[in-house]
Amino acid sequence: MIQNKRIFRSGARRAGFTITELMVTVVIAVIVLFAIGVVIADSVRGWQKTYDQVYADVRTDSYVVRAAFDGIVRKAVGYMHQVDPAGTWLEVYYYSNNYAPQIDRYARIFYASGMLMVDYGTYTLGANPPTSSLRTDIICENVSSCVFRDDGRSAQMILTLDDGSQSVEVTTSAVMHNGS
């Protein structure tokens, strides 16, 4: 009988882990998961900070302003435009479409009340007044200063955007491509 007990004890031993081994494994897994979580959280914070800097309002507005200014000036005729002597506005004239027999539209870009705006309208040569407004769009806000300059067939804009937390200066120019 004694012999049977020995066989039973050695043969009946169950495979598995002890409670101590399980506790050590769980503690190591928790430490590893915590470290991975810290790394991921830090990466997300860094990415969010970079994203906020790149796509902050004034930075995004600076891209929008450049594109809008370039689009308006490029379709204008080179021999017909006006710049305010103080540099507060720029007015350009253009054809409404490719088949228009004469220049029949204008766009006036101007700075007013902390905003950069553009006024679109019809243009009639010889009429009094020669222009009538169709619509006025706001290009961007947070404008602290804006100056327009004329350089023959090109126009330049120097604009400062400031939302209180950051400031961006935009200097852009475009060539008037239409007409002769």
Q: What residues does 135 pair with on adjacent strands?
A: 120
pLDDT at 13: 63
- 130 Cβ neighbours under 8 A, 6+ residues apart: 123, 124
pLDDT band of residue 23 (cuts 50, 70, 90) is: very high
- Tens-place pLDDT, residues 127-161: 777 777 888 999 988 888 999 998 877 889 999 98
- 44 Cβ neighbours under 8 A, 6+ residues apart: none
Residue 2 has pLDDT above 60, yes or no: no
Across residues 9-32, what is the average pLDDT? Answer: 83
User: How many residues in total does the chain contain?
Assistant: 180
Give the up-direction half-sphere exposure of residue 11: CA atoms within 13 A in the CB hemisphere.
6
- Tens-place pLDDT, residues 34-92: 999 999 999 999 888 887 666 667 778 888 889 999 999 888 887 778 888 888 899 98
pLDDT at 178: 66
- Provide the token pair at 127: 């009429």
Residue 118 has pLDDT above 90, yes or no: yes
pLDDT band of residue 1 (cuts 50, 70, 90) is: very low
- Provide the token pair at 73: 């000036």
* Helix residue ranges, H only, the chain: 2-11, 19-54, 57-74
Question: What is the number of other CB atoms lying within 10 angstroms of the CB of residue 6?
Answer: 9
- Provide the token pair at 136: 């006025």
pLDDT at 40: 94
Q: Are 81 and 92 in contact (CB under 8 A)?
A: yes
- Candidates 102, 105, 101; CA nearest to 81 is 105
- Provide the token pair at 90: 């720029």
**Residue 11, SS3?**
helix
